[in-house]
Each structure stands twice: as C-alpha cells, then as structure tokens.
Structure 1
Amino acid sequence: MTETAQGAVGHGGAGRGVRLPRTARRAQLLAAAQDVFVNNGYHAAAMDEIAERAGVSKPVLYQHFPGKLDLYLALLESHVDELVDRVRGALASTTDNKLRVQAAVAAFYDFVDGEGQAFRMVFESDLRGEPAVAKAVERATTDSVDAITETITSDAGLDEDRARLLAVGLVGLSQVTARSWLADDRRLSKEDAVALISNLAWRGIGGGFPLHPNEH
C-alpha cells in the first residue's frame, strides 16, 4: 500500500508526488517529528512544521496521527522500546556477570549518545503531566529494572526485593551518569566512562553478592 505526499519538499522528506509505503511514510513522519519535538519541546512544536519538514501536507500527517499527542506518544514509545531492548540485549549478551554489568551500563550510554537525542524525550519530557506520557516514561525505568532484577535474582539467589533495589541502583547510576557525561561534552571517552561506572557498580554488586562462586 502506497500513498502520495501532498506538499513541498521538506527537511529529510519526499517531494510532491512521491509515493511511499505506509510504513515508510510513518517512519519519515516520526523522524521529522523527532527533530521538532527535541528542538522545541512538545508545547512549542507545531504540526505545520512537522509536516513541512517531512515534505507532506498536513492531511497526510493527520492520516497517520490524529493529533500532536498521538504523534508524540508514538515517538516516545518507540524510544522507550529501544532503550529497554538495549538493556535486555546487554543482559543476554554474555553469561559473565561482570561483563553483564558493563554491558548494561553501556546500554544507557549508547542510548544517550545516539542520533536524534531520543533520550531527551524519555528523560527530559516537558509533558510528564500527561498521564500517557508519564506512563511511557516510567516504563523506561520499570522495564529496565525488571530485566535486571530477574537476572540478579536467578544468578545471586537474592530475594526479589533486594535484587530489585540493586537493579534500581544500577539503572539510576547508569542513566544519571550517562546524561552527566553527555552534558559535560564527553570529556572522557565513552569507553572510559562506561568502564569507570561499571567498575563502581560491579564492586558493589559483585563484591557484596556471590553471583557465581568463582567470579571476582
């Protein structure tokens, strides 16, 4: 199924008469919206500007997203999914628990350092008063914590309450330091920053709890 753009050429968009599959058009609109929401915030973002950047008319934009909030939520949910997938992938990438901690920390640094500044919508949204937005933002943390809790519980033999608190600590440490590292203009290389913070986390988790008898 394809559709035709009904507007002038926009930033990164297809021009008048260019037909795209619906999924490709949706991805194009989301990419255009990303720039506008990150640069302007939700309240100052305009659907007119998003349509212009995508190179489509407003009716085409509204065919995919009935309103600005629908567009914002679709984009936010995709970023939350990306972060959670990164964390789950990090935990599944190795059975060495020290390397798991490092990979989990790196997942947050990679997300924060990604193109398009997606992390700003997840961690710095100016629309947290909207229940649907607050729920999506909270899911970024809770789903990451759940994944880490499950791993710690199965490997360390801790009860869920203790494992969850450790997971919350690791997620909070990773997220806050990653954002601080970026705000400080990456004065350390990402590799050095991840190594520093993962070593701090591992000394707390690995030093206090025998995840595997022979691990140090």
Structure 2
Amino acid sequence: MTAEPAAPQSRPGRTPRLPRSARRFQLLGAAREVFVAHGYHAAAMDEIAERAGVSKPVLYQHFPGKLDLYLALVDEHTERLVSAVRAALASTTDNHVRVERSVRAYFDFVNDPSGAHQLVLESDLRSEPAVRQRVEDSFAQCVRAIAATIVVDTGLTQDEADLLAVGLVGQAESGARWWLQRGATIPKERAVEQLVELAWRGIAGYPRQTPYGEAGETPVETTPVEVEAAEPA
C-alpha cells in the first residue's frame, strides 16, 4: 500500500492560513493590544506579528507600515463611537432618554475592557495630522447628529444647536474619561445619571417646537416658564 501524503503542518508558533478578512481582523486585534499596552511610539511591528502568530511579511502584506495599522484601528473605533451615538438618538423620541443614551454611549466606549478608547480619546499620536483629523471628524459627526435633533425639536438656528451639541458631547466625553481615570469610584449608573441630569436641566429649557402627542391630538404650544395666575379684581 502507498501511504497517503501527510497533511501540511503549520510552522510552530504560526497560525494556519485564513481568509483575508479574517486575517485582517486577527491582526487588528493583536495590534490593538500592543498599542494600548505600549502606546504608538513604543509599539513594535515585530511584537504585533508575534502576538498575531504571523511572520512580519504577512503583517506587511495587510498593512504597509505601523501608521497604516494604527489608522485602521482609529477608523474602526471612531466609527463604533459615532454609530453608538447615532443609534442612541434614533432609538426613541423621548429627548431625556436620548440624552441619557448618548451620554451612556461614551461611558460604554471608555469602559470597554480592550482599552480601545485610548486610541481615540487619549492617543499619544494626536500630533500626527491623519490621526488628529480622524479624531476631530468623529467629534464633529457626533455634534452634527445631536445638533440635527435639536434643530428639529426646538427650531433653534443651526449655530445655536451646534453650540449646545458641542457642550453635550464635550461633557459626555470629558466626564466619561474622568470617571475612568479616577478608577470608577462612582458606580457607572450613578455617574451617567448625574451627567444626564446636569445636561437635561439645561437643555430642557428649550421647548419643543411641535410637541409630540397622541394620535389625533392637537399639539399644544409649551413654554418652560410658568405663567403666574392673574390677581383677582
């Protein structure tokens, strides 16, 4: 009998051949771990390849250089944050809930065990124009999404709505980062609640232009200021 040829064996320490998309996913995961642990400047392509279980040539087939790899991660995680904010706004017509879910999106983002938020909100490569542009674009996209909701609901000008949206996004981002840096000494739910109430007490002063009502109900004009009852004659 002729013995069947032995199945090809992977080289020790190397991962088996994967479809290109799966390999890219694997490389990005390994790179994220290294960048989060060491920062951009101290991270080495050798370590990323080793952690992914591939040779450096394989790594370079997917990403020509370290910056390309870093930018791919920044793109991935900025898109994740923007999508979370947009989903929060689209999930309800209750503006208090919209504010709560938008703030929560930032807390969920920084609280991800992977530490990926560091690549977006605390990058040591913000001086690199390509990184800075991506981070600023993600901030602007979140602002535009919130501002669009404010314009529709309140009738404020675009500039006024943009200003309020910048304040809300800045508060959510700064608050979430501070919370994490302080070691989450305040329970997450309580921290979200506090920031939401701070934001809501301000933004609720802008009444809806056309209040939502039950089907067939005639909208009633509202005002945040109570009208004093007339004194009896």
| Correspondent of 2:206 among 205, 209, 212 | 209
Q: Give the structure-1-normalised TM-score.
A: 0.90
The DSSP-based 3-state class of the residue aligned with 2:179 is helix
TM-score, with structure 2 as normaliser: 0.84
Amino acid at match of 2:115: Q
Q: Which residue number in structure 2 is paired with residue 12 of structure 1?
A: none
**Is 1:132 the counterpart of 2:120 in the alignment?**
no
Secondary structure of 1:88 counterpart: helix
- Aligned-pair identity in percent equals 57
In structure 2, C-alpha distance between the alignment counterparts of 1:155 and 1:57, rounded to whole Å: 55
**Cα deviation 1:118-156 (Å, max 9, x = unaligned):** 111111111112111110111121110010010111111
Q: 1:120 to 1:55 in 2, by over 3 A?
A: same
* CA distance in 1: counterparts of 2:87 and 2:116, whole angstroms: 19
Question: Does the 8 A contact of 1:33 with 1:50 survive in 2?
Answer: yes
Contact 1:7–1:55 (CA under 8 A) maintained in structure 2: no
Residue among 105, 108, 120 paired with 1:107: 105
Q: 1:34 to 1:167 in 2, by over 3 A?
A: same
Equivalent in 95, 120, 139 of residue 122 of structure 1: 120
Structure 2 Cα separation of the partners of residues 29 and 115 of structure 1: 18
**What is the CA RMSD across the aligned residues, in angstroms?**
1.9
Matching residue of 1:83: 81
Cα distance in structure 2, aligned partners of 1:7 and 1:152: 58
CA 78–96 in structure 1, closer or farther in 2 if over 3 Å, else same = same
Gaps of 5+ in 1: 1-5, 10-14
> CA deviation digits over 1:83-124, x for unaligned, max 9?
000000000111000100001100100001113111111111
State which structure, 1 or 2, has the greater radius of gyration over its C-alpha atoms.
2
In 1, distance between residues paired with 2:24 and 2:164?
A: 39
Q: Distance in 1 between matches of 2:11 and 2:147?
A: 49
**Runs (5+) with no aligned partner, structure 2:** 1-9, 212-220, 225-233
Moved more, 184-193 or 139-148: 184-193
